Amino acid sequence: MNPATRNTMMLVVALLICSALGCQQSARLDWDKPPAVAQGSTPVYVRDLVRREQGGVWGTKPEGEAIGKHTFTVFAIPVGNINADAATPVIKSYEGVLADALRAAGYEPCPATKAPSGSPTLVPELRECYFWSYTWFWPLIMQGGQVTLHLSVEDATKHAVWDKDFKAYSPGASAGGSFGFDDMVRSANSRVAKQIAEECAKDDFRTLIGGKTAASAAKP
């Protein structure tokens, strides 16, 4: 048997195993709303979120509604996508994560198209949403994934005056089949939302975005 035929047969077997053992094919992109860390409803003008993946595990970049891969053999050959559940599409979900985080920090997110002339804008990028399974140690299946949401503030000249990555890694494991991604995704998303809320409540960010700092709010 030549190597190409053998590799094809191995991939077919892997897909059959994955299907028979109930490997999870989609995951909900849910999150828990972060607790409020500041009061108020200062408008913050937010650009449309874009997905700009920097590269997932082993350099594979998920596209569309894919959020990761199931893998097979010691070399972690990708054998099937893990997709976002149809009820929680990627862009809409992470726009929701960001909106909830901003509200928890005392802001009201508004479309950048409604920003008054000269107003700073918040630019969000989803730079990583990648989850994976590694089946070489079957029946124990190792899993994990990471979410990275990048935010920057641009002034009226489109110059970035502030930027930061918010990321969370979520490990997991299962036996027999590859499942449990809903909980892993929720954990990562919730921690990212909490990080954003805490950072955006700080005075340096509030000053850039045009909101009242804790000191200025206390003045009569």
As a whole number of angstroms, the distance between CA 57 and CA 43 comes to 37
Task: For the chain, give the secondary structure using H, E and C.
Answer: CCHHHHHHHHHHHHHHHHHHCCCCCEECCCCCCCCCCCCCCEEEEECCCEECCCCCHHHCCCCCCEEEEEEECCCCEEEEEEEECCCCCHHHHHHHHHHHHHHHCCEEEEEHHHCCCCCCEEEEEEEEEEEEEECCCCCEEEEEEEEEEEEEEECCCCCEEEEEEEEEECCEEEECCCCCHHHHHHHHHHHHHHHHHHHHCCHHHHHHHCCCCHHHHHCC
Tens digit of pLDDT for each residue in 21-48? 456 688 999 999 999 999 889 999 999 9
- The larger pLDDT score, comparing residue 41 to residue 7, is at 41
Would you say residue 58 has pLDDT above 60?
no
pLDDT exceeding 90 applies to what percent of the chain?
Answer: 55
Residue with tokens 């195993």: 17
Q: What is the arithmetic mean of pLDDT over 146-167? A: 95
The mean-pLDDT minimum among 7-11, 26-30, 173-177, 187-191 falls in: 7-11
Domains, the chain, ranges and CATH?
3-210 (3.40.50)
According to the model, what pLDDT value does residue 26 have? 87
Write the pLDDT tens digit of every residue in 124-156.
999 999 998 887 777 777 888 999 999 999 998
- Position 53 scores a pLDDT of 73
pLDDT average, residue stretch 95-112:
97
